[in-house]
Structure 1
Amino acid sequence: MGSIIFNFYVDNFGTDHILWFFYIVNLILSVIAYKLGFARQLPLLKSIIVYTLLAIGVIVITLFSLVKYPMTETLIIISIVLGIYRFRLHRERKND
């Protein structure tokens, strides 16, 4: 079966720059998931360290994406669920 996004990218764009495409997409989605679900206000140096480690960790996720595991799709779902949660939490706090 494989990854839907992987198959779409290969069918439409070939394998040129596939590593960078998945790395950037996974990094963006990971940052969104981190900000929506786990981020707290941190000092600048600690934020730099956290995002640097996140960027290094996304390399592993990218490698899994390249062997057709649905990592990118999972990050999309995580971002949507956390976005809905944050929206409902904000709306509930606004009503109180």
Structure 2
Amino acid sequence: MDTFQFLVFDYILNTYGVENVFWIFYGLNLVLSIIAYKLGFARKLPLVKSIVVYILLLVGVYIITIFSTVMRMPSVESLIVINLVLAIYRTRLHFQRKAKNRNTSNV
């Protein structure tokens, strides 16, 4: 079970070494968190609120990366699963809305 749980961590550690593992994980966590935020929240925010959200994401992801690298918690793997689930949900929602609009326009 340990090999599956830390699949991304072990791959990055073996490929890039220990020197830059924190910043690689910070980048991965940040990108995956931004994608999850975009997929999870459909409402558009004003510019100032969006900037505040992204600044808080930068700080929060830094803390998550500490847990991910020092304590070896599977945050990257969890974010990948979260993004997959949200992408499936948004795709199904899109097709349902498209079918509903098509049915209401035909009536």
Tell me which residue corresponds to 1:6: 9
Instruction: Give 1:1-96 correspondences, 5 Å limit.
Output: 1=2, 3-66=6-69, 67-96=71-100
Shift in alpha-carbon separation, 1:35–1:60, aligned structure 2, 3 A:
same
- Quick one: higher RCO (CA 8 Å, sep 6+), 1 or 2? 1
Q: CA deviation at 1:50?
A: 0.6
TM-score (norm 1): 0.94
Q: CA deviation at 1:38?
A: 2.2
Q: CA deviation at 1:16?
A: 2.1
- Matched residue of 1:16: which SS? coil
Find the aligned partners of 2:43 and 2:18 in 1 and give their Cα distance. 38
TM-score (norm 2): 0.85
Per mean C-alpha deviation after superposition, the further-off stretch among 74-83 and 61-70 is 61-70
Find the aligned partners of 2:6 and 2:39 in 1 and give their Cα distance. 24
Q: List structure 1 runs of 4+ shifted beyond 6 angstroms.
A: none
Q: CA deviation at 1:6?
A: 1.0
Per mean C-alpha deviation after superposition, the further-off stretch among 79-88 and 55-64 is 55-64
Find the aligned partners of 2:49 and 2:42 in 1 and give their Cα distance. 12
Q: CA deviation at 1:39?
A: 4.6
Per mean C-alpha deviation after superposition, the further-off stretch among 24-33 and 34-43 is 34-43
Kept in 2: contact 1:5–1:72 (CA 8 A): yes
Q: CA RMSD in A?
A: 1.1
